[in-house]
Chains A and B, each alone.
Chain A
Amino acid sequence: SQQGEEDPQALSIQEGENATMNCSYKTSINNLQWYRQNSGRGLVHLILIRSNEREKHSGRLRVTLDTSKKSSSLLITASRAADTASYFCATDAGTGRRALTFGSGTRLQVQP
């Protein structure tokens, strides 16, 4: 079963605009992570936010977490064509296996 659900499923914007992706999940988490996947490639870790954190920044990325609503958002500011990729949220329930449960992803297209 999919823990996280991303919204929107697809997003097309112009270079320089901001892109916002949302993720909702169902069960309690230890942390939530965002990954990027370029077409035909493996996933690359972007940022991790813990359950006791509300907001985190990394370069042009800003992640928020609302555990009361079981939701997170990823904001990419001043987007570039190179940001074109699929973005996945993944939740870590904190069990010993440290396995992640992934959402179905948001496909972001940044037009030059």
Chain B
Amino acid sequence: NAGVTQTPKFRVLKTGQSMTLLCAQDMNHEYMYWYRQDPGMGLRLIHYSVGEGTTAKGEVPDGYNVSRLKKQNFLLGLESAAPSQTSVYFCASSPGVGRGQETQYFGPGTRLLVL
């Protein structure tokens, strides 16, 4: 199993450009998450999904949109990139609710630089 994969690994954007980050998991997990990690701030939740076709806002959703058309994929979109969105983005998944299903599995991250 590949686990959680993220594409691309690194990207440079100009202010105002758009892009989509792709997250894929092969563990048949119900829950998927997008976090951003800034220096000294830990991880903050952007959006999450509790199942195929569902999405919800997290702690810092402004400027981002998401879609989960297939259970294994969770896409994060930036419609008009801003320098404040320069960060490392992590995708994670977890099996679902219930005891023993709380652990999250993380992808390797996407480093995004917005100029």
Contacts and interface: CB of A to CB of B under 8 A. Distances in A.
Interface stretch (A14-22, A55-63, A70-78, A96-104): A96-104
Contact of A104 (B33, B40, B96): B40
Interface residues of A, number: 27
Contacts of A102: 35, 42-44
B106 A44 contact: yes
Contact of B41 (A2, A42, A90): A2
Contact of B48 (A30, A42, A90, A99): A99
Sort chain B's interface into a size bin: 20 to 34
Contacts of B94: 98
A54 interface: no
Nearest to B40: A104
A80 to B, nearest CB: 22
A74 to B, nearest CB: 15
Interface in A82-97: 88, 90, 92, 96-97
Interface string B80-115: 000000000010101011000111111111000000
A88 B50 contact: no
Contacts of B109: 40-42
Given A45-B103, A99-B45, 18 more contacts: A1-B59, A2-B41, A33-B104, A41-B109, A42-B4, A42-B90, A42-B108, A43-B104, A45-B104, A97-B31, A97-B56, A98-B50, A98-B96, A98-B97, A98-B102, A102-B43, A104-B42, A105-B42
